[in-house]
Every structure is written in C-alpha cells, then in structure tokens.
Chains A and B, each alone.
Chain A
Amino acid sequence: MGAPRRATRLAVLTGVVALTAVAFAAEIPLAERRSGYEFMGRETRAMQDDDTANPATLSVLEGAALWTRKIGAAGRACADCHGDASATMKGVAARYPAFDAARGRPIDLEQRINACRVDRQQAPALAWESRDLLALTAYVARQSRGRPIEIAVDGRTQPFLEAGRAAFQRRQGQLNLACSQCHDDYWGRQLAGNVIPQAHPTGYPLYRLEWQALGSLQRRLRNCLVGMRAEPYEYGAPEMVDLELYLMWRARGMTLESPAVRP
C-alpha cells in the first residue's frame, strides 16, 4: 500500500510546487510599486533631495552648457532647434524609450540625442557612457523631474514591450536566474548587504555611489547581467532597449526623479 500513498504525496508536492510557481510569477501590483528611493537610507535620500549635495547636478550644469554649444558640420546647437530646454524638454524623458519611425523600433533617450547629433547637427555620435552624452541626457531628463512616467504602448511598440517582458522573465546566465526572480519575487529582501529594489528605473541617468559617477540604465542592466553571470548585451543593442522599454512601462505613472542618487 506504500506505492499509492507515495504517489499521492508526490501529486500534492507537485501541486504545491506548481502553486508556488504561479504565485511567484506575478508582476508587482500597481499600488505596491515603490521607487528605489524608498529603499535607500536617510543620508542617501538627503543627498538626492538637495541639488547642492547631488553630484549629478554637476553633470546637469555641463549638459546645460553643451545644450547651447554649436557643433558639427551644420554648426547648430541643440538650443537652435529646441530653444529653451526647460520649456521644450519638459516631460520628454518620461516618454522614452519611444517609437522611432525611421528605425522602425523604439529608441531610448541616449539614442535620440545621438540621432539628433548625427542627422541634424552632422556631428559624430557620442560614445555610450561618455561624459558628454551622460551630461546631455541628465540635462534633458532633469526637465522632466516630478513628472509621471508615461510610455505609449500601441500596435507598433507592443511587440518590443513583449520582447522586453520575455527577457525580464527569462532565466539566463550560469546562475540560471531571471530578473523577475529578484525584482518581482524577492524585492525588499537582502542580497548580501543590499536591499533588492523593485527595478523601476525612475531616476536615470543617476549618480551611483558604487560607481562614483553618473551612469545610464544600460550600465545598470549590464551590471545586473554580469552579476547573473550572463553575457551582457552590448550598449545600444535592441534587446537592451526592449528591456528598458518594458522596465519604464512597468514604472508607468511613477514619478521621474532624474537625475537620482542610488547607493
């Protein structure tokens, strides 16, 4: 009579495992979403709240200077077309990554700035994570601080959003981990000394104390992928932008804090 009982026990066990899998695979309910800011210590929050203490402000000031500098064969500055950034760039960063008709796919804010440089200013594209690109991105993103993130999802962006979601939930790397395992299932718990945040990119580009520098969301994603011992996507890779799109959509309605400070 041992065999049937064992079979029952096995069935129950399988059921429990299946239930757990279902329970853990869910995305975070909208009302329970929290910015990484809320997981930070008092000192780091104070650093972000005070523009004089936030080192990213230095980059914003650099970006403001670059905004009015004439460059490239066209001899134009960003300001020559876009005018006063505090008016024209308000809310722009909260909409990126956005669909670009010319490329037939979503592009992120860095790619938009570089597209403008190459097409309109006829200047060479800025390198990823270069000081100037980060400064310009920080300056543009700063104009949207306090605005809600609003990613437009329509027929054109839907497939890329789904690709990003799939990448977020796909197990990868030598540790065989998915992004969602940490950030959907175990947020608020500890990974060594650090609290696991919910992965809402509300403050990029941001000043990371660990980096001692300003960095983009793509740099952060590459860090995470290396931590999972997965092959990180190249800067500007389509998979990277899909993931950015999904993460920003996941944070829809949350307040943009750019440029933020994180530990």
Chain B
Amino acid sequence: MAGALINVPERAKRGEVIEIKTLVSHPMETGYRRTQLGAPIPRDIIRLFVCAYNGTEVFRAELHPAIAANPFIVFSTIAIESGTLTFHWTGDNGFSVTESAALTVV
C-alpha cells in the first residue's frame, strides 16, 4: 500500500514563493545489504521524483541508494496562476505513485 503526503498552501498571492513538502512511503532498500544468511537483498529504491505545475515541470530530483526510507522532499516554486500541482514518484519494481494538489492564486 503506497501512500504519499503533500503539504501545499491552499491559496497564495501572485508572485509569492510557496513551500511544498512531500513525504512518500517507501523502504529505499539500498541493494548493498545482505540477509542474516548472506543472500543479497535486491535494490528497491525510488529513482525519480517530478513535480509539474499546470503541466510545466518545476522540480525534479534523482534519487540514489543511501537516501533514507520514506523520502521527505521540500522545495519551493513561485505562485503564478491557479491550478494543479502534480507529483510523480517512479522507481524500481514498477513503483509509481501520483498525487496532486490544488492551488488558488489570488
């Protein structure tokens, strides 16, 4: 059961810098660990996070091993117009989560 938490201000003034906080549920298994019996644990990480604002990409992050489980990514953008922010995480083993948040610009 994959889930994500998004924290975006509901409304902002035009031209204002807004902070966006995202938290996604993922174990981020590095691929470097082994079980107690010595068998390697296969890598299972999120590879890419992308945020689009009304279809325009405003933030992108490539993730690697050694990034903590349940990655918490905070970034900012400028409120230009009312619309939707979409968030997309993709990773190993077909991991894919999409979330969206509405933003009203006054």
Binding site for B on A (CB under 8 A): 50, 52-53, 55, 57-58, 61-62, 65, 131, 209, 212-213
What distance in Å separates the Cβ of A192 from its nearest Cβ neighbour in chain B? 21
B69 close to A57 (CB less than 8 A): no
* Chain B residues packing against A (C-beta within 8 Å): 1, 3, 5, 7, 21, 23, 25, 27-28, 68-70, 72
Q: When the two chains form their complex, are residues B21 and A212 in contact, meaning their CB atoms are under 8 A apart?
A: no
Contact, CB under 8 Å: B23 / A58:
yes
Do residues A57 and B27 form an inter-chain contact, with CB atoms below 8 A? no
Partner of A52, one of B23, B28, B68, B69: B23
Known: A62-B1, A62-B3. A53 touches B69 (CB 8 A): no
Q: Which residues of A contact B72 (CB under 8 A)?
A: 53, 55
Ordered nearest first, which 8 A-B pairs have the shortest CB separation?
A: A212-B69, A52-B7, A55-B70, A58-B25, A52-B21, A58-B3, A52-B5, A53-B72
Q: How far apart are the CA atoms of A216 and B77 in the complex, in Å?
A: 38
* Cβ–Cβ < 8 Å partners of B23 in chain A: 52-53, 55, 57-58
Cβ-defined partner of A57 (8 Å) among B1, B5, B68? B5
Question: Which chain A positions have C-beta within 8 A of B25?
Answer: 55, 58
Chain A residues near B1 (CB, 8 Å)? 62, 65, 131
- 7 A-B contact pairs sorted by A residue (CB < 8 Å): A53-B21, A62-B1, A62-B3, A65-B1, A212-B27, A212-B68, A212-B70
Docked CA distance A42–B41 (Å) = 33
Contacting pair B69 A55 (CB below 8 A): yes
Q: Are A61 and B21 in contact (CB under 8 A)?
A: no
**A45 CA to B70 CA in the complex, in Å?**
17
Residues of chain A within 8 A of B21, CB atoms compared: 50, 52-53
User: Could you tell me the distance between the alpha carbons of A55 and B24 in the complex, rounded to whole angstroms?
Assistant: 8
What is the bound-complex CA distance between A61 and B70, given in angstroms? 14
